[in-house]
Structure 1
Amino acid sequence: MAIELPDDLLALERAAWEEIQAGRLTADTAAAVQEAVTAHAEQAGVDRYELEMALKKAVRHPED
């Protein structure tokens, strides 16, 4: 089963990834991503860990 990644979740992860690459990830950004991942996983009925891994792969390795 493919995990759907809504645009707002992708945007949050992209912002966090940009901050990580710049060496300036904030606790607020990290918390916002985790809260959104948890909420979406619960709403979609998918494993939070699998959702987070799919999200990171989509943002950090889009060519795969």
Structure 2
Amino acid sequence: MAHTFDELVAKQRAADEAHNRVRQLREAYDPRTRARWSAHQRATWETAWRAWRDLARDVRVAVTDFARAEGRPLLEVEAELTRAVRTDERGEPGG
């Protein structure tokens, strides 16, 4: 599937947001007490973790497809994507 660079940025942002949610839950639930998490806490964390995992996988596939379609090195596209997402996070125009 062909992707635009803007789509890659959006996908990466979604994956980053999902990762932040996993970190927030881990901190809120205290990882040292994971064995004592309630069923609700465990289900919430596992759902968030799966969402992050799936989004991160989708980003990897999309970036690989994009690099191949554009005839560019994967590392170059990944670096450009990282710069674009970081720039956007600062509230500045992205790449």
TM-score normalized by the length of structure 1: 0.76
Rg bigger for which structure?
A: 2
CA distance in 2, matches of 1:20, 1:53: 19
The structure carrying a bigger helix percent of its residues is: 2
Identity %: 37
Offset from partner CA, 1:8-41 (integer Å, 9 cap, x none): 1111011112223332562101100000000000
CA distance in 2, matches of 1:51, 1:17: 17
CA distance in 2, matches of 1:45, 1:54: 15
Q: Any gaps of 5 or more consecutive residues in structure 1?
A: none
CA distance in 2, matches of 1:60, 1:8: 15
CA distance in 2, matches of 1:21, 1:50: 25
Q: CA RMSD in A?
A: 2.0
Alignment of 1:1-64 (within 5 A): 6-22=5-21, 23=23, 26-62=52-88, 63=92
